[in-house]
Amino acid sequence: MVTYSALVGDRLVAVVTAIGCGGLSLTALALVGRWPSLLPWGFVGVGAGYAVVLSLGEGTVDARAPLLAAAFFIAAELSFWSIERRSWRSEGQVVLRRLALLCSAGLATAIVGGLLLLVASGRGVGLGYEAAGVAAAVLTLAVIAFLVRRSRVLRGDELA
């Protein structure tokens, strides 16, 4: 992402690279020292570099943003996973399920993000795409509502 920011931007490249590299350094330091409180600041630095590039841009929506968002999320998950203090091995299915969940979350981020960005860009992309974007937003809200309802049921069981 730092490299992408440096390559895509055409103004203040040095500043963008410096911010991104600062974030990367913090991330690396957090990974080596296993400091979970430092890790999000590293990601803030990396994201800040990208935000600077977008701010200095021409105002068009970056079409690669959903992929970058998915990669950013997966990198954050993998970073937190790597600093979990565990000197023993997990069961095979535990690792596989976790990886599958991670990949699914990244894929969902990319797909839903892409559809939402299409809607947000305001471009005339066709009724089909707009409908898909609306459907994605509605689906997201529905999932949240289902989970809220389920959590109330589960808390009711706990209290009982």
Task: Enumerate binding residues for another protein (CB under 8 A).
Answer: 36-37, 39-40, 43-44, 47, 50-51, 54-55, 61-62, 65-66, 68-70, 72-73, 76-77, 80-81, 84, 86, 88-91, 93-94, 97-98, 101, 105, 108-109, 112-113, 116-117, 120-121, 140, 144, 147-148, 150-151, 154-155, 157-158
CA distance readout (Å), 125 to 20, 69, 94, 118, 155: 33, 22, 42, 8, 44
Token pair 């389920």 in the structure block, residue: 150
Q: Based on CB atoms, which residue is closest to another protein, 122 or 128?
A: 122
Q: Based on CB atoms, which residue is closest to another protein, 32 or 84?
A: 84
List the end-to-end C-alpha distance of the chain, in Å, as a whole number.
Answer: 49
CB of 64 to another protein, least distance (A): 9
Helix (H, G, I), strand (E, B) or coil at 119: helix
CB of 4 to another protein, least distance (A): 12
Q: Based on CB atoms, which residue is closest to another protein, 131 or 144?
A: 144
Token pair 């430092």 in the structure block, residue: 38
Q: Which amino acid belongs to residue 60?
A: T
Q: Based on CB atoms, which residue is closest to another protein, 32 or 86?
A: 86
CB of 134 to another protein, least distance (A): 16
**Are 113 and 132 within 8 A, CB to CB?**
no
In angstroms, the CA 100 to CA 71 distance is: 15
Q: Based on CB atoms, which residue is closest to another protein, 15 or 40?
A: 40
**Are 27 and 83 within 8 A, CB to CB?**
no
CB of 6 to another protein, least distance (A): 17
